[in-house]
């Protein structure tokens, strides 16, 4: 017999502390890795659950939400929530939560690391060493550009964009940014940041272009062959936002042709697949969507999502649940 009134589905294993916390309020089922990356699996199972704690890899479509006859809340284990049909959830009076703020610093650190790894060829150099090719210090081995004095053009100057910009300032970089709205004068001053209303103009001038914007219909394939052609040949592209912001086929071609110098990617258009041409492209660092992967941050993400679930199931007023999202 069920111990609690509510059933909660957590689609993948997450920190135990979060499961224990949810277990005080509901009967928790934890899915196996990968099971719910499939829409039909969600449709088949969701009917008996009152709350869903899902991953960014789970397609929470209108069909899934409609099948969730008892569903009161969908809490995403991520800040980006492009995997959830928020409009459909609103129509069905199902609340949606995400996890802002708690992953900002981990992602800022990671973006800086990815930029370093990409420009200084960490992966290729380590591979070279492991394969037994290191015969002694080489004055011309694995050269890459310095970051000091270079410009970082940030697309999407939200929390994570700003966290990256702060770190890049410490490395002596100059900050450009493009955003839907100009940020406050205080933020601009702290970062010594220059606003570009026009993305193309910024892309043509930035040594590094970093994508830190959400995936929306407007940002889908924002980086396409046109934009890549505007970037300088020595430019580096960094993407820790969402894969479909970049046209991967066009990027692979740009790397092959030397249209741009390098790319550091943590996200892909059709995760977990990676475009085969990107796998072969020169100067391309590719990582399996790990920007927020610190012990501290993944615990905090889980607790924030779980708290929203508990608040909703306990009938808390919407205005008291800070991480609910709406259109």
Contacting ligand DGY (CB under 6 A), which of 79, 96, 193, 263?
79
Residue 271 is a catalytic residue = yes
Residue of 121, 167, 275, 289 marked active site: 289
- Closest among 281, 288, 232, 294 to 265, alpha carbons compared: 288
Q: Does the footprint of ligand DGY cover residue 78 (CB under 6 A)? A: yes
Residue of 121, 167, 178, 242 marked active site: 242
Q: Does the footprint of ligand DGY cover residue 53 (CB under 6 A)? A: no
Residues found in the chain: 327
Q: Which stretch binds ligand DGY (CB under 6 A): 32-40, 74-82, 126-134, 317-325?
A: 74-82
- Judged by beta carbon, residue 245 or residue 278, the one nearer ligand DGY is 245
- Judged by beta carbon, residue 179 or residue 297, the one nearer ligand DGY is 297
- With vertex at residue 272, the alpha carbon angle to CA 92 and CA 303, rounded to the nearest 5 degrees, is 55
**Contact by Cβ (8 Å): 312, 94:** no
- Judged by beta carbon, residue 228 or residue 240, the one nearer ligand DGY is 240
- Judged by beta carbon, residue 107 or residue 237, the one nearer ligand DGY is 107
- Closest among 48, 47, 94, 101 to 74, alpha carbons compared: 94
Q: How far is the CB of 18 from ligand DGY (least distance, A)?
A: 15
Q: Does the footprint of ligand DGY cover residue 227 (CB under 6 A)? A: no
- Judged by beta carbon, residue 202 or residue 246, the one nearer ligand DGY is 246
Alpha-carbon span 159 to 166, nearest angstrom:
11
Q: Does the footprint of ligand DGY cover residue 161 (CB under 6 A)? A: no
Q: How far is the CB of 314 from ligand DGY (least distance, A)?
A: 25
- With vertex at residue 213, the alpha carbon angle to CA 209 and CA 216, rounded to the nearest 5 degrees, is 130
Residue 169 is a catalytic residue = no
**Helix 122-130 to helix 104-119 angle, to the nearest 10 degrees?**
60
- Judged by beta carbon, residue 167 or residue 289, the one nearer ligand DGY is 289
Q: How far is the CB of 213 from ligand DGY (least distance, A)?
A: 12
Alpha-carbon span 260 to 136, nearest angstrom:
31
Cα–Cα distances (Å) from 202 to 18, 38, 172, 187, 222, in that order, read: 42, 39, 19, 19, 13
Q: How far is the CB of 184 from ligand DGY (least distance, A)?
A: 24
Contacting ligand DGY (CB under 6 A), which of 80, 108, 156, 243?
80
**Contact by Cβ (8 Å): 298, 14:** yes
Q: Does the footprint of ligand DGY cover residue 56 (CB under 6 A)? A: yes
Residue 289 is a catalytic residue = yes
Give counts: helices (H), strands (E), the chain.
13, 13
- Closest among 278, 273, 228, 270 to 249, alpha carbons compared: 278
Q: Does the footprint of ligand DGY cover residue 103 (CB under 6 A)? A: yes
- Residue 157 CB contacts under 8 Å (≥ 6 apart), including other chains: 165, 177, 178, 179, 183, 187, 193, 212
- Judged by beta carbon, residue 162 or residue 292, the one nearer ligand DGY is 292
Q: Which tokens go with 309?
A: 């679930």
Q: Which stretch binds ligand DGY (CB under 6 A): 72-80, 115-123, 131-139, 275-283?
A: 72-80
Q: How far is the CB of 289 from ligand DGY (least distance, A)?
A: 6
Residues 263-302 binding ligand DGY (CB under 6 A) are 289, 291-292
**Contact by Cβ (8 Å): 55, 12:** yes
Alpha-carbon span 37 to 148, nearest angstrom:
42
Residue of 39, 188, 253, 271 marked active site: 271
Residue ranges binding ligand DGY (CB under 6 A): 56, 78-80, 103, 289, 291-292
Catalytic residue numbers read 242, 271, 289
């Amino acid at each position: 017999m069920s111990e609690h009134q509510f059933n909660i589905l957590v689609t993948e294993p997450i920190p135990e502390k979060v499961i224990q916390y949810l277990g005080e309020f509901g009967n928790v089922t934890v899915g196996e890795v990968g099971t719910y990356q499939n829409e039909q699996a969600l449709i088949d199972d969701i009917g008996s659950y009152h709350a869903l704690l899902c991953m960014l890899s789970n397609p929470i479509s209108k069909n899934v939400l409609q099948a969730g006859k008892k569903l009161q809340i969908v809490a995403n284990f991520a800040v980006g929530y492009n995997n959830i049909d928020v409009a459909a959830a609103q129509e069905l009076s199902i609340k949606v939560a995400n996890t802002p703020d708690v992953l900002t610093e981990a992602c800022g650190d990671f973006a800086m690391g990815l930029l370093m790894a990409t420009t200084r060829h960490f992966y290729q150099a380590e591979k070279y060493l492991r394969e037994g090719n290191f015969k002694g210090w080489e004055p011309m081995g694995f050269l890459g550009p310095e970051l000091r004095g270079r410009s970082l053009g940030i697309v999407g100057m939200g929390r994570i964009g700003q966290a990256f910009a702060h770190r890049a300032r410490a490395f002596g970089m100059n900050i450009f940014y493009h955003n839907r709205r100009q940020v406050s004068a205080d933020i601009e001053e702290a970062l010594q940041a220059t606003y570009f209303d026009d993305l193309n103009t910024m892309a043509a001038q930035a040594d590094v272009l970093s994508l830190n914007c959400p995936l929306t219909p407007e940002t889908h394939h924002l980086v396409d062959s046109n934009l890549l052609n505007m970037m300088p040949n020595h430019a580096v592209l960094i993407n820790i936002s969402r894969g479909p912001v970049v046209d991967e086929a066009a990027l692979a071609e740009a790397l092959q042709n030397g249209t741009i110098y390098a790319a550091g990617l943590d996200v892909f258009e059709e995760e977990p697949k990676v475009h085969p041409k990107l796998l072969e492209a020169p100067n391309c660092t590719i990582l399996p969507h790990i920007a927020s992967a610190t012990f501290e941050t993944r615990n905090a993400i889980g607790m924030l999502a779980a708290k929203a679930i508990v608040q909703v199931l306990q009938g808390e007023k919407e205005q008291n649940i800070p991480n609910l999202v709406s259109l």
